[in-house]
Amino acid sequence: MISFKQLTYALAIEKTLHFKKAAEMCNVSQSALSVAINKLEEQLGFTLFERNNKQVLITHYGQLVLDKAKRVKVELDDLLQITQMSKQAFSHSMTIGVIPTIGPYLLPKVLPELRKQYPNFKLKIIEEQSHILVAKVKSGAIDAAILALPYPIENLMSFDFWEEDFHLVCHKNEQLNNSKEISSNELELEKLMLLKDGHCLKEHILSACQFKFHKQESDFDSASLHTLIQMVAGNIGTTFVPQMALDQLIHNDSELKSMHLNEPGPHRRIAFVIRPNYIRTKELTILKDIFIKELTQKCGVLL
């Protein structure tokens, strides 16, 4: 009979394409792993991996088995977690992914209260771009992802917990209107700096401004809001930041000023994204309530 241990070893080889590294990942000897894989291949009646001294290749039928094995692992992981459901909330560890334009600004606001209420909760955070996190949620590699919507999540489920608008940040010497609001038709597009392609924040900003495309006039290309803000402080141009990031990015910086983007909103929604059959929704509801309370206290209501 095929064992879960054999499938786990096979998935480790798929990830590393290396028997020794897979064995280290599974905390077993390379010989034990090889014996288990050889037995699995005998049971299946075909080869999963073509290997020699230089490389490991996955066969066609091997990939079919590995795809099935991933789904089996997700289901079994959920099954094992059921034993924790009757215990105190967050008695089992959880891994949550978050995108770079949310993590640095959300987590400092919500984690202290979460830690206060559940001091023994083991929470692992990984930071990646949206498309990577969606794939990890689907594969069961992480419990949930915190994403900015709208974003295509295919057959996954989302639970919104925050919505916010964007604010234009510019140098104090910029000759813009002196109000607290600015509309997209008042923007000096040649000065506008946005994150490089691949970040959903850029797409959300363009959508909020009703721009189909924005050509970056400068040679500057950034993957970090912090770097963009430094460029603005140097009077290189202007940029947009989400409401939850305002206090950290321009707090006590006398060189900068901000204006709310006066376009129909909310400009983006923040949500947990999970698999439809995810069993720890009760705990995510607790997280959601804590996040809403802390964000409301520290960021205020949507303008």
CATH code assigned at 73: 1.10.10.10
Cis peptide before 100 (omega within 30 of 0): no
What's the token pair of residue 127? 């930071």
**Could you tell me the pLDDT band of residue 303, with boundaries at 50, 70 and 90?**
very low
pLDDT of 34-87, one tens digit each?
Answer: 999 999 989 998 899 998 777 888 888 889 888 888 888 877 777 666 655 556
Nearest C-alpha neighbor of 159 from the set 299, 287, 73, 42: 287
Shared domain for 120 and 240, answered yes or no, is no
| Domain end residue (candidates: 28, 51, 85) | 85
Who has greater pLDDT, 299 or 217? 299
Q: Looking at 33-37, 218-222, 233-237, which range is the least confident one?
A: 218-222
Question: Distance between CA atoms of 214 and 242, rounded to whole angstroms?
Answer: 18
Shared domain for 62 and 77, answered yes or no, is yes
Q: Looking at 21-25, 32-36, 135-139, 195-199, which range is the least confident one?
A: 195-199
Shared domain for 243 and 106, answered yes or no, is no
pLDDT of 101-129, one tens digit each?
Answer: 999 999 999 999 999 999 989 999 999 99
Shared domain for 120 and 236, answered yes or no, is no
Shared domain for 206 and 72, answered yes or no, is no
Structural domain including 184 reads: 166-261
**Could you tell me the pLDDT band of residue 152, with boundaries at 50, 70 and 90?**
very high
Q: Work out the average pLDDT over 25-33.
A: 91
Shared domain for 117 and 191, answered yes or no, is no
Q: Are strands 144-149 and 94-98 parallel, antiparallel or unpaired?
A: parallel
Shared domain for 171 and 159, answered yes or no, is no
Question: Distance between CA atoms of 183 and 164, rounded to whole angstroms?
Answer: 16
Q: Work out the average pLDDT over 213-224.
A: 62
Q: Work out the average pLDDT over 163-184.
A: 86
Work out the percent of the chain whose per-residue pLDDT is above 90: 49
Shared domain for 46 and 123, answered yes or no, is no
CATH label of the domain that carries residue 295: 3.40.190.10
Number of domains comprising the chain:
3
| Contacts for 71 with CB less than 8 Å, ≥ 6 apart | none
Shared domain for 253 and 280, answered yes or no, is no
Shared domain for 62 and 9, answered yes or no, is yes
Shared domain for 256 and 290, answered yes or no, is no
Shared domain for 80 and 110, answered yes or no, is no
Residue 28 has pLDDT above 50, yes or no: yes
